[in-house]
Amino acid sequence: MQTAPPGWLPGPGTKPEAVIREARRRQRRRWLATGAALVMVVAGAAVVIAGSGGGSRLRPPGRHATAAPKPAPSAMSGLPMPPGSGVRLLLTGRRPAWFWTATRRTEPIKGLPWDRAGYGFIRVVGGWSAQPYTAGPGCLPTCAGPRLPNYFIADGSRRAARIGPGFGVSASSGSGAVWLVTFRRSAANIGVTQARARQVTTAGRPAGPRFRLPAGYLIQRAVGGDLLLAPVDQGPGAVRYKLWDPGTRRVAGTFRDVIAAGPRQIAWPACVSCPVHVLDLATGTTATIPVPRGTWANNDGTFSSDGRFLAFLLSAGAAEQFGVQARIAVIDTVSRRLLAVPGTTLSGAVAQRLSFGWQASGHRLIAVLPRPGPTIQVASWQPGAAHLLVATARIPRGTSAVLGEYG
């Protein structure tokens, strides 16, 4: 998860979510640079993310909680994962595969050709889309590049279905379909050119008309009947997302610094001491959940499949975008409580390598932390559990686990 230089734009193998991800990193550094004094004054608030307790509600620090936080751990902690209760992980690499942590068995996904550069994944409803990281032309990083093949892998499926060629794929708001984004010319500058988008089935058949997106915008994902758009060129200041109706071409709403989006929900903003707002488009209601002073919701949040739980990194301290410390936090959108996931407190540098996501159905949160060599630390947790369940596994060299919204 390295930071790209200013003015970075995605190449043909880069997904729209990568644009969003990089913008959040750059934006967060600007927040921290301008608000460093505030963060240093409340540095004691960082201890709130270092505490233990099984999914207990995060609370602001007490009156005397002013001591500097202790050095954060470099690994997750908890109880050993019971035998036979391992998890299945999707591995990316030159030949993507499913991996079972309990048996250490690996099974390649059929239908995905071997690719020297490997594959990138995007979470969609009911599974994953995949696109090879094929080398692009010399006009990178500002041009669209040639259309690349896209595939769909249903949750747990051992075979990929070809969706069709394009610039990239984004999630629709329902199962069985995705949004396929294309550019008319491979040399088109994606920062100023209108992309074309069409909803297609996961088997690649057209499922609706083709639309032209506003120039300089890409789809993060569909939310309800609208599309959440993110600007390609994201300069100083807050990143403004548009909730856009493709039929009428009207903007239904704007959101600053989105944390996560699901089939019907949007969470925002990612800024120091800002409460998290979660809008449910199905009900039209917005939940506001405060975070401890001096902390902030980090990037790449992810909703559970039913939208009840939102998981994200909660950071504290003034050391770059991930802070001095970070841990996984979960918002229960029904009770509107902020829960701390026990055993996930890490140093900011280590947290950059942490990935996490919800199982396809249910409320089981899976987290993976790469360790030296081909070893990973795998953890699982369900809201209300007092402990994290942790195991260590060895995965094939050149692979990495795919969790959350991308991989």
Identify whether 269 is preceded by a cis peptide bond (ω within 30 of 0).
yes
Considering the entire predicted model, what is its pTM?
Answer: 0.84
Confidence class for position 252, pLDDT limits 50, 70, 90:
very high
Instruction: Flag whether 188 is in a domain.
Output: yes
pLDDT more than 70, % of the chain: 80
Instruction: Flag whether 407 is in a domain.
Output: no
By residue range, what is the domain housing residue 94? 16-402
Each residue's pLDDT tens digit, 315-324: 998 755 677 8
- Has residue 208 got a pLDDT over 50? yes
Short-list 104, 44, 102, CA closest to 293: 44
Phi, psi of 16 (to 5 degrees): -55, -35
Average pLDDT over residues 331-348: 96
Instruction: Flag whether 7 is in a domain.
Output: no
Q: What is the chain's length? A: 407
Least confident range from 9-23, 61-75, 189-203, 261-275: namely 9-23
- Has residue 10 got a pLDDT over 60? no
**What's the total number of domains in the chain?**
1
Instruction: Flag whether 291 is in a domain.
Output: yes
Mean pLDDT of the chain: 83
Average pLDDT over residues 135-160: 86
Instruction: Flag whether 9 is in a domain.
Output: no
Tell me whether strands 375-381 and 365-370 are parallel, antiparallel or unpaired.
antiparallel
Tokens at residue 331, please? 């918002």
Compute the distance between CA of residue 376 and CA of residue 354 in angstroms, rounded to an integer.
Answer: 10
Confidence class for position 385, pLDDT limits 50, 70, 90:
very high
Distant-in-sequence, close-in-space partners of 41: CB < 8 Å, separation ≥ 6: none
Instruction: Flag whether 6 is in a domain.
Output: no
Task: Show contacts of 268-271: CB within 8 Å, 24+ apart.
Answer: 268/241, 269/238, 270/24, 270/27, 270/28, 270/296, 270/297, 270/298, 270/299, 271/31, 271/296
Give the pLDDT confidence score for residue 18 in this predicted structure: 44
Tokens at residue 381, please? 């947790």
- Has residue 246 got a pLDDT over 70? yes
Average pLDDT over residues 58-82: 67
Confidence class for position 72, pLDDT limits 50, 70, 90:
confident
Three-class SS of residue 39?
helix
Average pLDDT over residues 142-166: 94
Compute the distance between CA of residue 271 and CA of residue 251 in angstroms, rounded to an integer.
Answer: 24
Alpha-helix residue ranges (DSSP H) falling in 261-405: 348-351
Compute the distance between CA of residue 140 and CA of residue 224 in angstroms, rounded to an integer.
Answer: 33
Give the pLDDT confidence score for residue 64 in this predicted structure: 34
CATH number at residue 73: 2.130.10.120
Is residue 162 within 8 Å of residue 111, measured between CB atoms? yes
Short-list 118, 185, 130, 126, CA closest to 156: 126
Tokens at residue 380, please? 């699982």
Is residue 78 within 8 Å of residue 387, measured between CB atoms? yes
- Has residue 70 got a pLDDT over 80? no
Three-class SS of residue 53?
coil
Instruction: Flag whether 331 is in a domain.
Output: yes
Give the pLDDT confidence score for residue 323 in this predicted structure: 77
Tokens at residue 387, please? 């402990």
Instruction: Flag whether 1 is in a domain.
Output: no
Distant-in-sequence, close-in-space partners of 170: CB < 8 Å, separation ≥ 6: 16, 122, 124, 178, 179, 181, 218, 219, 220, 221, 222
